[in-house]
Amino acid sequence: MTVFKTFLKVLKSCKGTIILYSAILIFFAVFNTTSGDNTTNFVAEKPDVFIINQGEREGITKNLIQYFEENANIIDIKNEENAIRDALFYRDINYIIYIPENFREDFLDHKNPTIEVKSTGDYMASLADMMLERYLKLANIYHETFASEEEIIENLNKTLSEKLEVEVTSKLDTDHLTQIANYYNFANYSLLAGCVFVICMVLFSFGRDVVRKRTIISSMNYKKYNRKLLLSNGLFAVSLWAFYVLVSFFLFGSSLFTIHTIFYLINSLIFTFCALSIAFLIGNLVHNREAINGIVNVVALGSSFLCGAFVPTEYLPDFVLKIAHVLPSYWYINTNERLKTMEVFNFENLKPIFLNMGVVILFILLFVVMMNFISGKMRKTNS
């Protein structure tokens, strides 16, 4: 019997658990889609913004404030440091805009004035952020072509209102995108749990001291044998990923035919490899069949909770998110969240996504290095 065939037999003995993890994912996804209609309506929801204007309410400055008055809830609070901090903390406001005194003059002089902001960092704040960014970008573009302030403002308003209509029509998709993002966020749990459980079981079965000894003394090339085992495990992980992708197509159908999907797939595939490396690391450390279940729960459930796979990150306290930075799941989920609200795929927008993927890849490298270090160490203590 070949290594691969035996691998499949071991896998077969894990099938109950794999089905369970997958069922949880599918159940969650179905529940999420059916209840999705009455959750978020993006047009109705506006970010709460507090604007501190240090200059005159004239010209472009006036227009900028008007734009926010139309598209956001302007909240008035006391302009005091404590009051502002409290308001941010309790989410009475999502976003604060400081318009500097000479904003208008600097802008017209092509001096590129900076507008300082404070934000709660949640979804609503990022909406406000997007609005401000778009406004300034467009303003700069029209400033290149038009000389007079009136012309700039006129064109700016035209474009902004057009844009808004587009946003209204794309509302349905945002709903779907949220569901898809939630699905892939949740897959964080299923992929991690599935990979760690199966690979630990496999490594346990193949790696028990004596079975390993038997393999080492046999005439099978040990490197080749290890490669076969690694390949089998990799194949399993990729199959699990492919299966979850298939399920997502089954659940969301044609709403997946967007550019977003390509990035969801790449992101989750990279994360699958990360789960694989975590699984190998744990499998090399744990030599106790009974402990495997507990470890799967700690690793998969723990990182899923901390990093926002179950609960959206904006509901998680800041310190939890800070801790979550040390887990690869955080970066994986962060990418999904960014994709959810992404309208334009240009390098500027994709940069943080590539960065996140880079971080996950670094995690993979780190785990591989750790694994080599540990298995090397264990080989030494054995002899």
Partner 1 sequence: MKNVVEVKKLTKEYKELKAVNDLSFEVKEGEILGLLGPNGSGKSTTINCILSLLNFSEGSIKIFGQEMEPDAYKLKEKIGVVFQDVAVFEELTVIENIDYFCGLYIQDKGLRKRYVEDAIQLVGLEEFKKFYPKQLSGGLLRRLNIACGVAHKPKLIILDEPTVAVDPQSRNNILDGIKTLRDQGTTIIYTTHYMEEVEILCDRVIILDRGQIIASGTIDELKKLAKLEEKVTVEVMELDSKYIKEIGEFKNVEDVTYHEGILLITYKKGKNNLVELMDYLKNAKIQYNKIFSERPTLNDVFLELTGKELRD
Q: Which spans of this chain sit near partner 1 (rule: CB under 8 A)? A: 1-2, 6, 9-10, 12-13, 205, 208-211, 213-222, 225, 383
C-alpha 358/C-alpha 329 separation (Å) is: 13
Burial 242-263 (b: 16+ CB within 10 A, else e): eebbebbeebbeebbebebbeb
Cβ 4 to partner 1, closest distance in Å? Answer: 11
C-alpha 195/C-alpha 262 separation (Å) is: 22
Q: What is the 3-state secondary structure (H, E, C) of 209-243?
A: HHHHHHHHHCCCCHHHHHHHHHHHHHHHHHHHHHH
Cβ 187 to partner 1, closest distance in Å? Answer: 27
C-alpha 238/C-alpha 199 separation (Å) is: 13
Nearer to partner 1, 166 or 217 (CB): 217
Nearer to partner 1, 216 or 235 (CB): 216
Nearer to partner 1, 215 or 349 (CB): 215
Nearer to partner 1, 10 or 141 (CB): 10
Residue 186 in tokens: 């949740």
Cβ 225 to partner 1, closest distance in Å? Answer: 8
Cβ 216 to partner 1, closest distance in Å? Answer: 7
Nearer to partner 1, 9 or 322 (CB): 9
Cβ 382 to partner 1, closest distance in Å? Answer: 8
Burial of 34 by CB count in 10 Å (0-12 exposed, 13-18 middle, 19+ buried)? exposed
Nearer to partner 1, 211 or 262 (CB): 211
Percentages (nearest 5) of helix, strand, coil residues in the chain: 75, 5, 20
Torsion sign (Cα): 71, 77, 82, 86: negative
Neighbour count for residue 63 (Cβ, 10 Å)? 21
Q: Which residues pair with 52 in a beta bridge?
A: 98
Nearer to partner 1, 100 or 207 (CB): 207
Cβ 231 to partner 1, closest distance in Å? Answer: 17
CA separation (Å) from 313 to 50, 236, 287, 325? 23, 30, 35, 12
Nearer to partner 1, 32 or 205 (CB): 205
Cβ 219 to partner 1, closest distance in Å? Answer: 4
Cβ 375 to partner 1, closest distance in Å? Answer: 15
Beta strands in 54-133 (DSSP E): 73-74, 95-99, 116-119
